[in-house]
Structure 1
Amino acid sequence: MSARWGLTIPLTGVPLPEHREIVGELADLGYTDAWSAETNGSDAFTPLALASQWAPRLRLGPAIVPVFTRGPALLAQHAATMAQLAPGRFVLGIGTSSPVIVERWNGVPFEEPYKRVRDTLRFLRSALKGEKVTVDHDTVSVKGFALDLVPETPPPIVLAALRPGMLRLAAREADGAITNWLAPHDVKKVRAELGAEPELLARIFVCPTEDAENARRLGRRLIAAYMTVPVYAAFHEWLGRGEALKPMNEAWAAGDRKGALELIPDEVVDDLIVHGSPRQCRARVQEYVDNGLSTPILAVLPGSDLSMPAAVRALAPAG
C-alpha cells in the first residue's frame, strides 16, 4: 500500500462546516494528506486552515493555487499563515490554472504562464526564508517585500505540471510536481520527465460504484469539461490519447455538446476515472503508485450508493 494516501477537500455536496467529523477521522482511517483545490467553489486556503485544527496529523496543501489570481506577496502571506497553523505539515502547490479561471473569471491576462510560475516560485523561495525581496523578473516585479510572519521551516513548494517543460522546472527548482487526469500507465511517462527523486502527486477521480454505466456517464461529463481546455488537450496529445479524443473535441468545437459526450470511448473513461467496488478502486489507485506515483490524492465523485463520508471511509487504505 502507498505510504501516502490523500483526499481532496471539500467533499462534493458537503457544506464546509459539516466536514469536521470526517476530516477528524481521516488519519485514523489511514489517510495521510488532505489537499484542496481552487476553481469556482471554496478558496484553496480556508478548508486547509480548518483541517489544520480538526486533524493535527494530516499533511495539508492546495492543489493548486493559481499564480495569476493573487499577487506574489499575498501568496507568501497565505503560505506563511498555513505554515504557522500546520508547522511541518504544509506544502504549497502553485500552478498556472487556465485562461477560463484567470482571464474570463478574474480579468487577469493569462500571459507567459511558464515564466509566471517560474518567477513566482523563485520569489516565494526567498520570501518564505524571511529575506527582504526586491526582484524584477520577466513576469514578477517586487520591491522591498519582507514577511512579518516568517515560517520556522519554509514549506515545500510543488508545481502543477502536465508536460515536459513544467515537469523539468519542478525537478530543477521545486520540491515536486502535481498532475491529474492520467491513467496508471501514464505515470511512467510523467515520471520519466520529472526524474526518480522528486515527489509526484496526482489527483485521481474515484467513483466507488459497481454501476459502470453510471460512472461512465459522470466521467464523460467531466472529461468533456476538462479535455476541451487547450492545456489538457495538449497533455493528452502528449500522452498518446489525442486520436481517441479528437472526435469529441471536433464535436465540442462545432457546438454539439451532447454529441461530444457520446464520442468519448469507454476505454478513455475507464482509463481516467477509477470506478468499481471500494476494494477495486483501492487496487486501481495502487496501480498508480506501482507505476511511480508518490502521493495519490483521491477526488471522490458522487454517483455511488454511499454517502460522501461513507465513501471516504470505504476508500480508506484500511478499507
Structure 2
Amino acid sequence: MTVPLGGIPLSEHRGVFAALADAGFTDLWTSEVAGSDAFTPLTLAAAWAPQFRLGTAIAPVFTRGPGLLAMTAAALAETAPGRFQLGIGASSPVVVGDWNAADFTDPFQRSRDMLRFLRAALAGELVDEQFETFPVRRFRLERPPAVPPQVLLAALRPGMLRLAAAEADGVILNWLSPADVTTALAEVKTDKPDFDVAARIFVCPTDDAAHARRVGRRMIAAYLTVPAYAAFHRWLGRDETLAPMWQAWSAGDRKGALAAIPDEVVDDLIVHGTADECRAKVEAYVAAGITVPAMALLPTPTLESGDPAAILPLLTSLGR
C-alpha cells in the first residue's frame, strides 16, 4: 500500500499501519511529489510496524545531492535492516524545476550516474569520481548500513528499462495496464534471481463508476500530458487514442482534454469497483509479472472523510 493515506495525519498512522498488517499487506511504499517526503512515513513505519517491507517509489535523483540521498537512504536502511528498498527515478520537470529549483537536464544520464554512485556509497565504498552529470570527491558514508538496501530504478521506455535490468536490483513501473506490463518487461532481460518488478497501481475503491472515472480522468490529464509519460503511452500504442486529449491540452482547453479521454483508457489505467473487484484487477498485474503491486488509493467519499472508523474497514476489505 502507498502511504500516507490522505485525510489521516501522519501522527495517527500507527493505527493505519496496524490495520494494513491485519489485512495482510506486506509492504509500505511512498511517493514524493508535493505531499509528504518519501522517507518520513517509512521512518514512522519502521518504528511502529517493524513487520513491513518498506520502499520509496520514488525519490527523485535531482532534488537531493548524491551524498544527502545516500545518507538518507542509509539511515532508513539502518533503522529497518533488510527491509528497505530504495526506489529512485528522474521525476518530472515540474517537480524538479518548477518546485525544487533544480535543472531537469539529461534525466537518463543523471539516473544512471546516481544509481552507480548509490550502489557504491551504500556498500560503504569511498567514492571519488567524475560522473557525467556530477562530480563526487572522496565521499564515504560514516554509517554505512550493515545491510545495504536494494536500489530500484523507475523506468518507462526501453533505454531506462534496459538500464534497470543491467545495473539495478529491480525496476519500478507506473501508469500502465496489466497488458502494458508485458510490453515493458519485454525490455527487461535479466537473470538476477531477486530482481523485483514494482508497480504503482491506482485504485479507486468504489462501485460508483462515474465517480471513479471523473477522478481517473483528472489524474490521467495531469500525468499523461507530461512529456515523458506522453512518449511512454505513444510507445505503448495509445497515440491515436490519446491524441485528442494531448491536442486539447496543448491548446489550453482543459475541459476538452478531460472529455477526450475515453472510458476504456480510464478503465485500463485505474482500478475501480468493489473491494473484491479491485483485488481481482490488482491480481491481473501480478499475473502479468509484477512482484510488488503497490496500491495507491484515489479519493472516494469514504477516504476523503478522514474518519478512521470508516477507512480502516475499507483497508481490511481490500487486503483480504
Q: TM-score, normalised by structure 2?
A: 0.95
Root mean square deviation, CA, Å: 1.1
What letter is aligned with 1:243? E
The reply on whether 1:121 has 2:115 as its aligned counterpart is yes
Counterpart check, 1:311 vs 2:314: yes
Q: How does 1:71-82 map to 2 (within 5 A)?
A: 71-82=65-76
Please state how far the C-alpha of 1:196 moved relative to its aligned partner: 6.0
The aligned residue for residue 70 of structure 1 is 64
Structure 1 position 219 matched with structure 2 position 216: yes
State the shift of 1:25 in Å: 3.0
CA deviation vs aligned residue, 1:241-264 (integer Å, no higher than 9, x gap): 121111011101111111110110
1:191 maps onto 2:185 in alignment = yes
Kindly state the Cα deviation for residue 180 of structure 1 after the two structures are TM-superposed.
1.0
Distance 2:97 2:104 in 1: 6
SS in structure 1 of the partner of residue 100 of structure 2: coil
SS in 1 for 2:187: helix
Aligned partners of 1:300 and 1:312 also within 8 Å: no
In structure 2, the partner of 1:3 is: none
Give CA deviations for 1:12-54 in whole Å, capped at 9, x if unaligned. Answer: 2221111110112323321110001100110111001001111
Aligned residue in 2 for 1:158: 152
8 Å CA contact retained: 1:91, 1:157 = yes
**Partner SS, residue 193 of structure 1:** coil
For residue 239 of structure 1, the aligned residue among 236, 240, 248 is 236
Within 1, Cα distance between the matches of 2:73 and 2:82?
12
1:297 aligns with 2:294: yes
**Partner residue in 2 for 1:94:** 88
Tell me, yes or no, if structure 1 residue 21 matches structure 2 residue 15.
yes
Aligned residue type for 2:165: A
Distance 2:68 2:74 in 1: 10
Letter in 2 for 1:190: A
- Measured after TM superposition, the shift of residue 192 of structure 1 is 1.0
TM-score under structure 1 length normalisation: 0.95
- Write out per-residue CA displacement over residues 209-260 of structure 1, whole angstroms, 9 at most, x where no aligned residue: 1111111011000000001100110111111112111101110111111111
SS at match of 2:142: coil
What is the deviation of 1:309? Answer: 2.9
Residue 139 of structure 1 and its aligned partner are, at CA, apart by: 0.6
Equivalent pair of 1:207/1:304 in contact (CA under 8 Å): no
Higher deviation after alignment, 205-214 or 304-313 = 304-313
Letter in 1 for 2:110: R
Q: Flag structure 1 segments of 5+ consecutive residues without an equivalent.
A: 1-6
The number of residue pairs the alignment matches comes to 311
Measured in 2, the distance between the counterparts of 1:187 and 1:22 equals 30
Give the counterpart of 1:173 among 167, 181, 186: 167
Amino acid at match of 1:288: Y
Q: Secondary structure at the match of 1:158?
A: strand
Query: What amino acid maps onto 2:102 in structure 1?
Result: V
C-alpha distance in structure 2 between counterparts of 1:158 and 1:81, whole Å: 17
What's the CA shift string for 1:92-120, capped at 9, x where partnerless?
A: 00000000011111111111110101111
Identity of aligned residues (%): 59
1:18, 1:310 → 2: CA distance?
A: 16
- The reply on whether 1:271 has 2:268 as its aligned counterpart is yes
Q: Which blocks of at least 5 consecutive residues in structure 2 are unaligned?
A: 304-309
Q: Secondary structure at the match of 1:38?
A: coil
SS state at 1:296 partner:
strand
Contact 1:300 1:308 in 2 (8 A): no
SS state at 2:91 partner: coil
Verify the 8 A CA contact 1:26 1:55 in the aligned structure 2: no
Q: For residue 311 of structure 1, what is the amino acid of its counterpart?
A: L
The alpha carbon displacement at 1:305 in A equals: 4.2
Cα distance 1:250–1:237, how it changes in 2: closer, same or farther (>3 A)? same
State how far apart, in whole Å, the 1-side matches of 2:158 and 2:201 are: 20
Q: Deviations over 1:161-214 (max 9, x none)?
A: 011111100000000100111111111111111136531100000011111111
Could you tell me which residue of structure 1 aligns to residue 103 of structure 2? 109
